[in-house]
A and B are shown apart, each in its own frame.
Chain A
Amino acid sequence: MFGKVHNVLALAAIIGLTALLTGCGDTAPEPRVETAKAKAEHCVEPTDVMRRNHMEFILHERDETMYEGVRSSKHSFKGCINCHVPASDASGKPVNYLTADHHLNPEHFCATCHAYVGVTLDCFECHSDNPEGAAPSDSTHAALNGGADHE
């Protein structure tokens, strides 16, 4: 008798927990590849290779360029941005990796996954997060430095 009640309670708990888990954890976001797809038939490497190893490629390319002056590699960081980040969104504004309130912007190709997995995107503290020739960002980016009245 008590065993039955326990079973029912346990079942209810499990169902409740599952509901809770699915409720708060969406499935992983898909990276936005539309922009790049419109420009090229395929990426410089197969998708699964890119997903696992893009950071290795960028790191290798970085040292080759920095120390050896090689600027033609197909794994160029600038190449990623030029292909994957649109020059502007539908309203004509650039798509930056940060939002005005300094959070990762899931609309930006790199930030979609980096925000989901909680891995910081240091690259764009120095590198441009936009393709060559994109429009300048809003003044809202002054938020990065604590606002316009910041001394």
Chain B
Amino acid sequence: MNNTNNIDAYRRKFLMGVAGTATAITIAPGLLLRQAGAKAPGDEISNKNRWGMLIDIDRLPNGGQTVVDACQQEHGWGHEEESNDKQKAQWVRTVHVKEKLTGHEFDLPVMCQHCETAPCADVCPTGASFRRKDGVVLVNKHICIGCRYCMMACPYKARSLVHEALFDQKPHSPRGKGTVESCTMCVHRIDKGQLPACVEASNGAIIFGDLNDENSEISQALKAKGGKQIRADLGLNTGVRYQGI
């Protein structure tokens, strides 16, 4: 091991230590990422992890509206004053489903499903739509040209274009006119070892965690009770899974 590597290892250890104490003091223990492999702010993401969410719709209060509210609160979308209802940003929405055969009805929250083979990233002409090493699909708004190919390609209608000049954005969630946006799986939080805002608000109905780690809570829950993908027929291997649909 050369010197640089030593320094790096030391730095990582040090940052882990600092972040560990800081989070323990400022956040209630229940909100900590109960997850081996949780990341300290200074660490780079790794393809060892694949972050995912498992949503149990039977345990979600009011059809998932809680999720919508929490996301809106966290990222500040949906208040575009000059846009009509079709233009307004919507990172997550509730969808009402009725099974014709049985008459069974339910609601589910639908956000970006963080596809493994993401059609939005495939079609993007500039590379702005991309999948991080840890499975989170994002738009790099610095190079998005607002062409909206990704919105057309997304089978889940998960994306929005900002149609108007914005101000008072949340400092942790930059958003702006002429760029496309969607659920970021709250990367600004998970990169610091915290849970996404909707998961925190879901009262345990959404499990966030590492799909690559067979001992993680999410993998265990999936193993025990299974979890469906919406439009599994598309073979996108989504990072968001559902129980109770």
The answer on a CB contact under 8 Å between B169 and A78 is no
Per the bound structure, the CA–CA distance linking A82 and B42 in Å amounts to: 19
Binary interface encoding of chain A residues 127-151 relative to chain B, with 1 for a CB under 8 A from any of its CBs, else 0:
1111110001100011011000010
How many residues in A have their beta carbons less than 8 Å from beta carbons of B? 28
B15: interface (CB < 8 Å):
yes
Decide if A126 touches B179 in the complex (CB within 8 Å).
yes
B146 beta carbon closer than 8 Å to chain A: no
Cβ-based interface call for B32 (8 A): no
Q: Which of A111-131 contact B (CB under 8 A)?
A: 125-131
Contact call B191/A128, Cβ cutoff below 8 A = no
Given A71-B192, A145-B164: A66 and B39 within 8 A (CB)? no
In chain B, what residue has the closest Cβ to A132?
Answer: B171
Residues of B within 8 A of A (CB-CB), count: 35
| Minimum C-beta distance from B192 to chain A (A) | 6
Binding-face segment, B135-143, B196-204, B236-244: B135-143
Report if B177 contacts A (CB, 8 A). yes
Q: Kindly report which residue of chain A lies nearest to residue B84, judged by CB atoms.
A: A151
B165 x A125 contact (CB < 8 A): yes
CB-based contact B44/A68 at 8 Å: yes
What distance in Å separates the Cβ of B218 from its nearest Cβ neighbour in chain A? Answer: 19
B20 within 8 A of A: no
Contact at A127–B174, with CB atoms within 8 Å?
yes
Question: Looking at the complex, which one of B41, B170, B171, B179 makes contact with A72 (CB distance below 8 Å)?
Answer: B41
Across the interface, do A69 and B167 meet the contact criterion of CB distance under 8 Å? no
- Cα distance A41–B175 when bound, in Å? 32
In angstroms, how far is the closest chain B Cβ from the Cβ of A32? 20
Minimal beta-carbon separation of A70 from chain B (angstroms)? 6
Contact A126 B171 (CB under 8 A): no
Q: Does A95 contact B (CB under 8 A)?
A: no
Q: Are B191 and A69 in contact (CB under 8 A)?
A: yes
User: How distant is the Cα of A82 from the Cα of B130 in the complex, in angstroms?
Assistant: 29
Given A66-B138, A66-B142, A125-B176, check contact A72 B15 (CB 8 Å): yes
Q: How far is the CA of A141 from the CA of B142 in the complex (A)?
A: 23
Give residues in A with beta carbon < 8 Å to B: 62, 66-73, 78, 81-82, 96, 125-132, 136-137, 141-142, 144-145, 150
5 contacts between A and B (CB under 8 A): A66-B138, A70-B44, A71-B188, A130-B171, A142-B81
Known contacts A70-B43, A130-B171; 14 additional CB pairs below 8 A are A62-B142, A67-B132, A70-B42, A71-B188, A73-B42, A81-B171, A126-B141, A126-B179, A127-B171, A127-B174, A129-B167, A141-B167, A144-B165, A150-B82
